[in-house]
Structure 1
Amino acid sequence: MPAVFLARAKGLSKLLGLCLIAGVLVAAVLFPVAAGFGAVSNQAAETVNNTSAEVEERLPATNTKVTDKDGNVIAHLFHQNRVIVGADAISEQMKAAIVAVEDRRFEEHDGVDWQATVRVALQNQMSGEIEGGGSTLTQQYVKNYLAFVVADGDPENPEYAAATETTIARKLREARIALDLEKRMTKDEILAGYLNVVPYGNEIFGVHQAAEAYFSTTPDKLTVSQSALLAAIVNAPSSLNPIRRPEQALERRNVVIQLMADQGRFSEDGPEENQRIADEIKQEGLGVGETLNQTYNGCVGAGTGHINGFFCSYVVNYLVEHGFDLDEIKRGGYTIQTTLDARATDAAKQAAEHHVPKNADGVANVMAVVEPGTESHKVRALVANRDYGVDPAQYQTQIDLPSYVTTFGAGSIYKVFTAAAALERGYKIGQQLDVPEVYTSNTYRGPNGPYQVRNASQNLPEQMSLTDALAKSPNTPFIAMQEDIGVGAVVDMASRLGLREGMNEVNLSGTAIQPDSPDGRLNQSQGDAVTNGNQGSFTLGAGPTGVLELANVSATLVSGGVWCPPTPIEEIRDRNGNVVPIDEAPCEQAVDKGLADSMVVAMSKDTAPGGTAVNAATNAGWNRPMLGKTGTTQNYASAAFIGATPQYAGANLIFGDTPSPQPLCNGNPPHLCQSGNMYGGNVPARTWFDTMNVLHDGLETAPLPAAHPRYS
């Protein structure tokens, strides 16, 4: 991705080319103390040219903003905490303060203050050493640019040493570049460039972030007192830290105010009026709080209560997976507008925590919300009852619970894939299926012989339609159906409908694969392992699953069988405002539209009497047509629910998030236990309905499609 510089700070970009074209100054004028100056001059020129060649396209690192779909900032990503602003966005008081303390003759010289240079040269000659002083703001701009942009502020970088060493070569380099810089940039541009580049302590770079951190304001609104403090701490941000050393900072601030008065920068009415104003301003406090208004870097702390951290992390991972360089993202000053819907996120977070409090020991409740469509599937919310953060004592985690593929299954939700694959091979949604209490397979093998499965519910009818089977969820007819069409067809359908990562990633089968595995399963994906191993349990959903992909499965079905990648990206713009393309996978017709529509109809009875989610729907007052499916894994290790209307699709998964998970028990709150009684129709379905009631409030009731005759 090419880095594009901010137009408002166009003067900064000009600096990069100056090292190549600046002329050599007369050594005896600049540094009379230097013997053999010709050699020094040549050395400096070579250093400058080498530096330019290495950093020809290096630009000041600038904060990248991550926003929600409405443009509200949810996170910042940066290498150096800096936001570049133009000269017109910096108060005149700030400009006056920095000139007063650093370079009172700034408006008069041409980049080098010859008076100061001669004075310092004479002092150097007297002392026999190269000392500081005499540098103009333009020269300091050059020094800071080389130190914090070219050398990245890294003391281990040789360019940093070259930019900060006390040598004639360095002074010459700065002077040469400064003289040419003044020919190419206005004084205002140079001032803005300097104020944008320099550090202000506390890992803050540039006047924009300094104004925000210390005073919760913007640089165009900085007062004299505030400006004087920032100008004071620029050259000694550690020793004059106003948080840790307020007395020293106040003393130096007042020095700056006095310099401004001595230079007549407050009034044209003479020294007495300038002094009166200065004395009045000196009475003001520092105006800095006990803590900084700090900009958080990264996804930890994203959003009030860390609510957006999981989504932010998904965005970063998504961009990296799609070819973006993370270091460039942190430096490039991009604006990444995401698909995050604050209302959906808040509703899902409240529902997740309501049904499983964040302090529930060892129990995670996660949810993903996706907006269906035939041109995109936009991710609207990724939440958990946990917070995204680094403090486990506060129930925080940096594991991407709502977006990664967990080691836990979704249970009977996988029967959806078996049903869809069966329709593709001639089954009908109204077709009657045998429902024996126990089914012994002649195809699949268990640990002790033929694979045998029984239904979780008793007293089921001996036969029921495929539609009723999806609602009541007996196990035996789906094992028989998978046996008939082949487990490979079911795995393929799962991948096509949305479990792309879950089926295709290597070593996600949930069981250890030994290097000397006799069946050759080393480095197989879950899908290959299931297919090659002819695992009959696949339709019962014991394998690793991700809740985001489950949500996208229901979005695919309700979108007429069109699969799209679950995208968190609305638009990306570079620091110049230009759109940056992202190469996402195109949407595709994963299954025939008639098949998808028929599956929606077949899954529409889960909230009707007899359906496994009817109680949750009734208690939530849900009365809209929808598709839904519950799932519970063996031994109640996890439970899930997927559902969708034409407007929103979502999925919930509850599981144990401890190193040694146990069965889950439904209770207040849900908890780990020895036996387990957690079903998909409990916490997962309740969380889904509570979320979706909020999101559908005010929306028209959208009808479901009709089943296609071919699949009816």
Structure 2
Amino acid sequence: MRPITKLLAICLVAGVIVAGMAFPFAGGLGLLSNDASDTVNATSSDLAAGQLPGVTTVTDNQGAPIAYLYEQNRTPVSLQQMSPAMRGAIVAIEDRRFYEHDGVDWTGTLRALVTNQSAGSTQQGASTLTQQYIKNYQLYVTAQTESERLQATEPTYARKLREVRVALQLERQLAAGRTKQEAKDEVLERYLNIVFLGNNSYGVAAAARTYFNTTPERLTISQAALLAGMVQSTTQFDPVRHPQAATGRRNEVISQMLGQGMISQQQAQQAASDPLGIVQPLATPANGCTGAGNAAFFCKYVVDYLGEAGISSEQLNRAGYTIRTTLDRNAMNAMQQALVGEVPAQQRNVADVMATVQPGRDRHRVVAMGANRVFGVNGDALQTSYGLPWEPVNLGAGSTYKIFTAAAALQAGLGINYQMPIPPDGYASPIYRDGAGNPFPVRNAEEGLAPVLSMTDALAQSPNTGFVKLMETTGVAPVVDMAVRLGMRSLAEPGPDGVSIADTVREQNQGSFTLGVTPTSPLELANVGATLGSSGMWCPPSPIEGITDATGAAVPVAEQPCEQVVDPALADTLMTGLSKDDQPGGTSAAAAGANGWNRPMSGKTGTTQNNRSAAFVGFTQQLSGAVITFDDSSSPRTLCAGGGDSPPFPCSDGNLFGGTTPARTWYRAMNPVFAGLPVAPLPPTSPRYLQGGTNEQVPEVIGDQADDATAELRDAGLQVQVVQVGNRAPAGTVVGQNPRGSVLPDQVITLQVSTGTVPSPPGVPTGPPPLAGGVPGAGG
């Protein structure tokens, strides 16, 4: 009975094939319904217009590749970019009548049917290149699930029949308005771009690079024959794992090319004698940001940034985009050398991270970002895929936040020359409380500070008590609002409970905000400098110069618009107010001097409680950068800064400050970059923000009698309190006034009034009162 069964099967399938042959002329004799015919038409149309998954290339600002993103390693190229040997080899071994049939080789199909049915197994294939293209397209483009991939390759006659009909329809569509040669070339190009050739290589361009580190137009006869032979089985004929089998299969292809007159006897002999020539290791491009070297963190920021702009990572891995970024390779290299030079990558518990942004009135370009840690996902404590340079550091950035308090004070009416009272250590501010709500004394890290400092000097010397007291007058909420406006946008993002950090700080009136205890993004901090360096124009820190798709067309990127967040004169004046940090007496002066910094800049250091983290932000109108050094372990500890060849390390009595490792990293990274830039002066200042707002000016009453001075100030609508001080000036004379110049709303003016005598030191007799004239009062 078995021969009869085989004969019946052959007759049945042969009938199906004959019906299929009639398809171009009679619509398939009704073998498929109208719905099925519609499906065939839709499928062939998709095949004719569809785009193949490709490799997205991420480049630096000069167009040099830094990373490749892909699901399938494929670079589509035109048929003219493929060598004649490659085109001939694939036709010779897979479909020798390719240029003769209309998508289906009926003669070959019948022969294969009889052979396979007689043998009881698959002995011969009959799929044309057109049919193989259809199967590959459904497998590598259309199918999204494992079930769909299995359906695309299921060994059933139903699938083969659908494939036959789609192949016929596809070639008819492609032939419309073209010659048959042109239509066939189109199919061949599509096939050679989609076919899988092993070792993560899709299409001949990727395979040429992977196996031979060459381009498809340079493929030789022997190389092309090897690739064409692998189509039958990329596993069995893998030239890396099975070189002998691959050689035999290659030579079989060469023999077919010779037999079909594609090459001469001499060419065939030479090609068959060539070594396989596979490069070791295979030249497969690293997939993803892990292959971007020291630009890996930047690459990951690009992917995340585009995700927020609506371009998903799945889209990036298939679309074949070219993404030109803002990365400056020279700046990146200098930054990385500075980061690992200050804190080696293998130093446990100490992360050193940095980001730089170019100011601008229309865009803020991210120039570089990096960390001493290696970007990776292998679980090593010294590797991380967390976005260290742009994600918030939970330990905070310390006194860099005094920038926001100063800006809020200028906005409220004070001037940068405002004389700030600096309460001694242990000042108990009404807005600085512990977790239980009890007053908590604020202390200064520095000793011997003057009792009064200009805001400029206070920014350079960074007294905690002075800025907490300043925030008593500005209010906490305006300082928080200023931080968000200038660039700390993540503070305003709702948390899991829908409440932002900014909301919490405002609601709880947290006086500690000015001391930088909240989570801080190094990139956002650098962008604050860029906002001030752009005369108060905030722009999102963008890593994108432009994107083109596989056809070269521009791909739009939705970015937030720039905003003028403060008066340009305020921003420019504040830059001047921050210009003493690198000068003698400034908290980063030692780091600046050690690195030979010699140009105007604005900067601010910061250190958090217990020295678990420290920061430095420095900027000009050309470039802004921020560094945060912190314990990146799960249980942060106090850090010591080290020195010389000794990197920072966990210790019991910390001495890590913003002026140590963070500032040294900044100057070390920035010096090479600024060396190629002209020296830029600080921006001009405004009298409004130097001395304070016109309506908030405080009458100068030093030297007046207390009663007259009090009356004058109260007539100006100001609140006054009088304190008696020992002084040689005539009794009742005002010898001190705070504040002078300008005052915040509801701020009390304190007048120091002379008693006319100076108390003698213990054991020294008291002499007669001095003559009139005395010495200048404090606060002058």
Partner of 1:553: 528
Distance change >3 Å, CA 278–CA 127, structure 1 → 2: closer
Deviations 1:18-70 (A, max 9, x none): xxxxxxx98352679xxxx9786449647636757999975321111111111
CA contact (8 A) 1:131 1:166 kept: no
Q: Which moved more, 1:49-58 or 1:233-242?
A: 49-58
Instruction: Single out whichever of 658-667 and 173-182 deviates more from structure 2.
Output: 173-182
- Return the match for 1:319 from 306, 311, 321: 306
Q: Does 55-64 or 175-184 show the bigger shift?
A: 55-64
Counterpart position of 2:713 = none
Deviates more, 1:323-332 or 1:403-412: 323-332
Does residue 160 of structure 2 align to residue 168 of structure 1? no
Deviations 1:343-386 (A, max 9, x none): 11111111101010101111100000100011000001010011
Is 1:385 aligned to residue 380 of structure 2? Answer: no
1:403 aligns with 2:395: no
1:249 aligns with 2:249: no
Aligned to 1:19: none
Partner of 2:289: 299
Alignment match, 1:266: 263
2:185 matched to 1:196?
no
1:626 and 2:601 matched: yes
**Matched residue of 1:244: which SS?**
coil
Q: Please, what is the CA RMSD of the aligned residues?
A: 2.3
- Report the CA distance between 1:576 and its aligned residue: 1.6
The residue that corresponds to 2:480 in the other structure is 491
Q: Give the Å deviation of 1:216.
A: 0.8
Give the equivalent residue in structure 1 for 2:267. 277
Work out whether residues 100 and 259 of structure 1, in 8 Å CA contact, stay in contact via their aligned partners in 2.
yes
Corresponding position of 1:227? 224
* AA partner of residue 246 (structure 2): A
Are the counterparts in 1 of residues 428 and 440 from structure 2 also a CA contact under 8 Å? yes
Partner SS state of residue 308, structure 1: helix
Instruction: Say which SS state the counterpart of residue 451 (structure 1) adopts.
Output: coil
The C-alpha deviation readout for 1:117-160, integer Å capped at 9, x for no partner, is 232344356568887522222222222222222225x5421xx3
Q: Amino acid of the residue matched to residue 422 of structure 2? A: V
The one of 59, 78, 101 aligned to 1:67? 59
Pairing 1:638-649 to 2, within 5 Å after superposition: 638-649=613-624
Does 2:63 match 1:85?
A: no
Paired amino acid for 1:245: H
Counterpart AA for 1:583: A
What code does the residue aligned with 1:584 have? E
Q: 1:600 to 1:404 in 2, by over 3 A?
A: same
Q: 1:674 aligns with which of 636, 643, 652?
A: 652
Distance 2:74 2:401 in 1: 48
**What letter matches 2:614 in structure 1?**
A
CA contact (8 A) 2:533 2:572 kept: yes
User: 1:364 aligned to 2:351?
Assistant: yes
**In structure 1, what is the equivalent of residue 340 of structure 2?**
353
Aligned partners of 2:620, 2:51: CA distance in 1, in Å? 47
Residue of structure 2 in register with 1:15 after alignment: none
CA contact (8 A) 1:44 1:173 kept: no
- Runs (4+) of structure 1 moved beyond 4 Å? 37-47, 49-58, 124-132
174, 179, 185: which one aligns with 2:168: 179
Q: CA deviation at 1:420?
A: 0.4
Greater RCO between the two (CA within 8 Å, min separation 6)?
1
What is the aligned partner in structure 1 of residue 129 from structure 2?
A: 137
Query: CA 1:650/1:505 → structure 2, altered by over 3 Å: closer, same or farther?
Result: farther
Indicate how the Cα distance of structure 1 residues 317 and 111 shifts in structure 2: closer, same or farther if over 3 A, else same: same
Q: Secondary structure at the match of 1:118?
A: helix
Give the corresponding residue for 1:607. 582
What does the per-residue CA deviation read over 1:511-546, in whole Å, with 9 as the maximum and x for residues that have no partner?
xxxxxxxxxxx5421111111011111101011001
- Alpha-carbon distance in 2 for matches of 1:55, 1:445: 68
1:600-620 deviation line (CA, Å, top 9, x unaligned): 000000011100011111111
Report the counterpart of residue 658 of structure 1 in structure 2: 633
In the alignment, structure 1 segments of 5+ residues that lack a partner are 1-24, 268-273, 508-521
1:711 is aligned to 2:689: yes
- Helix, strand or coil: the match of 2:155? coil
Cα distance change on mapping 1:496 and 1:603 into 2, 3 Å? same
**Aligned mates of 2:218, 2:46 — CA distance in 1:** 38
Structure 2 CA distance for aligned equivalents of residues 337 and 691 of structure 1? 23
Secondary structure in structure 2 of the residue aligned to 1:143: helix
C-alpha distance in 1 between matches for 2:260 and 2:269: 15
State the Cα distance separating 1:209 from its structure 2 match: 0.8
User: Do the aligned partners of 2:41 and 2:169 also contact (CA within 8 Å) in 1?
Assistant: no
Show the counterpart of 1:583: 558
* One-letter amino acid matched to 1:542: V
Q: Look up the match of 1:76.
A: 68
Change (3 A) 1:55 1:700: same
**Secondary structure of residue in 1 paired with 2:223:** helix
1: CA distance, partners of 2:32 / 2:560: 56
Counterpart-to-counterpart distance in 1, 2:419 and 2:163: 86
Aligned residue in 1 for 2:724:
none
| Equivalent residue, structure 2, for 1:417 | 404
Contact 1:366 1:547 in 2 (8 A): yes
TM-score by length of 2: 0.81
8 Å CA contact 1:243, 1:291 repeated in 2: no
How many residue pairs match? The answer is: 657
Provide the rounded CA distance (Å) in 1 between the counterparts of 2:393 and 2:48.
45
Q: Which among 433, 439, 445 is matched to residue 433 of structure 2?
A: 445
Structure 1 Cα separation of the partners of residues 435 and 92 of structure 2: 84
Q: Is the 8 A contact 1:41 1:169 kept in 2?
A: no
Amino acid at match of 2:204: V
2:616 and 2:666 in contact (8 A); partners too: yes
- One-letter code aligned to 2:654: G
Give 1:206 deviation, angstroms.
0.9
Structure 1 residues 166, 504: closer, same or farther in 2, change over 3 A? Answer: closer
- Structure 1 residues 486 and 48, CA gap change in structure 2 (3 angstroms): same
Which of the two has higher C-alpha Rg?
Answer: 2
Distance 1:138 1:477 in 2: 79
Describe the shift of the 1:125–1:233 C-alpha distance in structure 2 as closer, same or farther (beyond 3 A). Answer: closer
CA contact (8 A) 2:43 2:166 kept: no
Q: Which amino acid aligns with 1:416?
A: I
Q: Sort the Cα spacing of 1:440 and 1:182 in 2 relative to 1 into closer, same or farther, 3 A.
A: same
Which amino acid is 1:90 matched to? Answer: M
- Between the aligned partners of 1:657 and 1:349, the Cα distance in structure 2 is 18
Q: CA deviation at 1:324?
A: 1.8
- Classify 1:87/1:447 alpha carbon distance in 2 versus 1 (closer, same or farther; 3 Å): closer
Q: Who is 2:98 aligned against?
A: 106
Q: Distance in 1 between matches of 2:479 and 2:152?
A: 64
